[in-house]
Structures are given as C-alpha cells and as structure tokens.
Amino acid sequence: MRTITLLIIHCSATPQGVGLSFEDCRRDHIRHRGFSDIGYHFYVTRDGEIHRGRPPEKIGAHCLNHNRHSIGICYEGGLDARGQPADTRTLEQKASLLALLRELKCIFPRALIVGHHDLNPVKPCPCFNAEREYRGL
C-alpha cells in the first residue's frame, strides 16, 4: 500500500441546478483530461452516495505534486447558481463526507485532512475550509 499523508477534499465546480454524475465526471476526466480513469478515489453526489473511483492503492490525478501520497475525495457541487464559488454541500453530502473521512482516518490515522485550496491557493476548491471543519477527526 502507498504511504498516505493527505486526504484532499475537492469540489467538482458544478453549479447548483446542474448535475455531474460520477460517470459524467469519469468520462470528462478520460475524454478531456486524458486520464486513464477518474482522478479521484471517491466522488460524493448530491444525494450523499459515495462512489468509488480509483482504488486507494493507485495514485490519483487530482492535486499536482501531491498525488503520490494522497487520497482524493470530491463532492458534486462547489458553485452557486451564478457560477461563483460556494459551499453547496447538501446535508446528505456532509454526512457522507464525515463518515468517509472517519473511515479513512481509521485506515490512515496520520493523514491530514485538507482542501485543495490549502495546497494550491489559486483554486477556491473545495469552497469551504476543510482543514478547520475536519480538524477534530
């Protein structure tokens, strides 16, 4: 197994009212980004369903210079209806993210939970302060 030091939270940058299913995200990553698969290890849709992407033992493609030692977790959303960055997580997504992160912290207890923005300040992703929100896990 890889050494995992980071659990990185992302958003799909999808506006409210617009859907981006797991399969749509996977297709986009393969067709438009040239990836072999979806770049994330987990994708959480608005209904709270957790979809498994790349297996955790495989390196993701979600955060430049940090893929080798991280797990990428993305939630559907992150933009308001006008296309501006916003925390658009549904209650179902918040509950699923919390449960998933608790499970991952049991497997990787030393891993830090951060948002994409914490590693690349140019990006607003995941559009909320993940480090602060999950600090107690």
Domain presence at residue 17:
yes
3-state secondary structure of 134: coil
**Residue 8 is which amino acid?**
I
pLDDT band of residue 58 (cuts 50, 70, 90) is: very high
The pLDDT score that the predictor gives to residue 6 is 98
pLDDT of 1 above 80:
no
Question: How many CB atoms are closer than 10 A to CB 108?
Answer: 19
Task: Determine whether 125 is an active site residue.
Answer: yes
The answer to whether residues 37 and 26 touch, using CB atoms and an 8 Å cutoff, is yes
Domain presence at residue 1:
no
pTM metric for this prediction: 0.96
| DSSP H or E stretch at residue 95 | helix 91-107
Of 29, 116, 117, 127, catalytic: 116
The pLDDT score that the predictor gives to residue 81 is 94
Q: What percent of the chain has pLDDT over 70?
A: 99
How many domains is the chain built from?
1
CATH number at 82 reads 3.40.80.10
The pLDDT score that the predictor gives to residue 2 is 85
Domain presence at residue 62:
yes
User: Taking all residues of the chain, what is their mean pLDDT, rounded to a whole number?
Assistant: 96
DSSP 11-72: E--EETT----HHHHHHHHHHTT--SS-S-SEEE-TT--EEE-S-TTS--SSSTTTGGGEEE
Task: Determine whether 40 is an active site residue.
Answer: yes
Mean of the pLDDT values across residues 49-78?
A: 96
Task: Determine whether 116 is an active site residue.
Answer: yes
Task: Determine whether 32 is an active site residue.
Answer: no
Of 11, 74, 125, 127, catalytic: 125
Of 11, 25, 29, 40, catalytic: 40
The answer to whether residues 91 and 126 touch, using CB atoms and an 8 Å cutoff, is no
Mean of the pLDDT values across residues 8-24?
A: 95
Domain limits for position 68:
6-133
